[in-house]
Amino acid sequence: MRYPASILALLDELERLPGIGPKSAQRIAYWLLTSEQADPQRLSDAIVHAKETIHFCPQCFDFAEGELCEVCANPRRDSTQLCVVAEPRDATAIERTGEYHGLYHVLHGVISPLDGIGPQQLKVAELMSRLGDTSISEVIIATNPNVEGETTATYLARMIKPLQIKVTRIASGLPVGGDLEFADEVTLGRAMEARREL
C-alpha cells in the first residue's frame, strides 16, 4: 500500500512549492483532508483567482489588479522620488512605514553571479528607460543590506549617476545581513529617513 493516486498527486504539487519538503507536504495534505478548519476549495479558488487577476504593473513591475498598480495609479504620489526594491513584498514593507510617498520600481531579484543572475535578468533596462523619460530627481535604492543587495545598489548607482540624478541608499539601521521584509516599522522608517547619497 502506498497513498492513493490523488494524494500522491497532491503531495507532488505541494513538494514543488518553495521551502516545502516531503514532511511539510504530508502534514499539509493531511490537514487539508482531515481538519475541520481546512477549506481546500477556498484555498484552491484563492490560488486560481490570484493567478488570473494579478499581473505586473507595466510601469513599476509590482503586482497589480488594475491596469496600473495602486501606487502608480495614484496621482498624489510624489513622482520625483523613485524607490528601487528587489521584490513586491519589499515595497509593501516600505509602505507600512508611512514614511515614503514616492513611486517604486521592482527589480524582481538582485544581482547574484553565483546564481547566474545579472542585470539582464532583472528589470534594470526598464528602470533606465523610466529614468530617461520622467521628472525623477532621486532614486532611493532599498535592496536588502546583504552582499547581493549591496552589489546591486553599487551597480545601479554607477549606472544612474551619469544621468545627473541623485542616488541614495537606505541607511543601515537595519541589522546587516538581515532581511528588509520583516524589519519593524520604526527601524525601517528611520532607515528611509536617514538615507545617504552614494
Interacting residues toward a copy of itself by CB under 8 A: 1-7, 9-10, 12-14, 16-20, 23-24, 26-34, 37-51, 53-54, 62-65, 69-71, 87-89, 91-92, 95, 108, 181-182
> Residue 4 or 116: which CB sits closer to a copy of itself?
4
Cell of 114: 553565483
Contacts of 169 (CB under 8 A, 6+ apart): 140, 141, 142, 153, 157, 195, 196, 198
Measured in Å, how far apart are the chain's first and last C-alpha atoms? 63
> Residue 40 or 58: which CB sits closer to a copy of itself?
40
* Least distance to a copy of itself, CB of residue 34, Å: 7
| Contact (Cβ atoms closer than 8 angstroms) between residue 198 and residue 168 | yes
* Least distance to a copy of itself, CB of residue 151, Å: 21
| Contact (Cβ atoms closer than 8 angstroms) between residue 140 and residue 84 | yes
* Least distance to a copy of itself, CB of residue 95, Å: 5
> Residue 65 or 185: which CB sits closer to a copy of itself?
65
Sheet holding 102-106: strands in order across? 102-106, 78-85, 138-141, 166-169, 196-197
> Residue 46 or 186: which CB sits closer to a copy of itself?
46
> Residue 130 or 161: which CB sits closer to a copy of itself?
130
| Contact (Cβ atoms closer than 8 angstroms) between residue 80 and residue 135 | yes
Alpha-carbon distance values, 5 to 14, 98, 171 (Å):
14, 49, 53
* Least distance to a copy of itself, CB of residue 120, Å: 16
What is the spatial distance between Cα 49 and Cα 40, in angstroms, rounded to a whole number? Answer: 14
* Least distance to a copy of itself, CB of residue 162, Å: 30
> Residue 19 or 162: which CB sits closer to a copy of itself?
19
- Beta-bridge partner residues of 168: 140, 197
* Least distance to a copy of itself, CB of residue 25, Å: 10
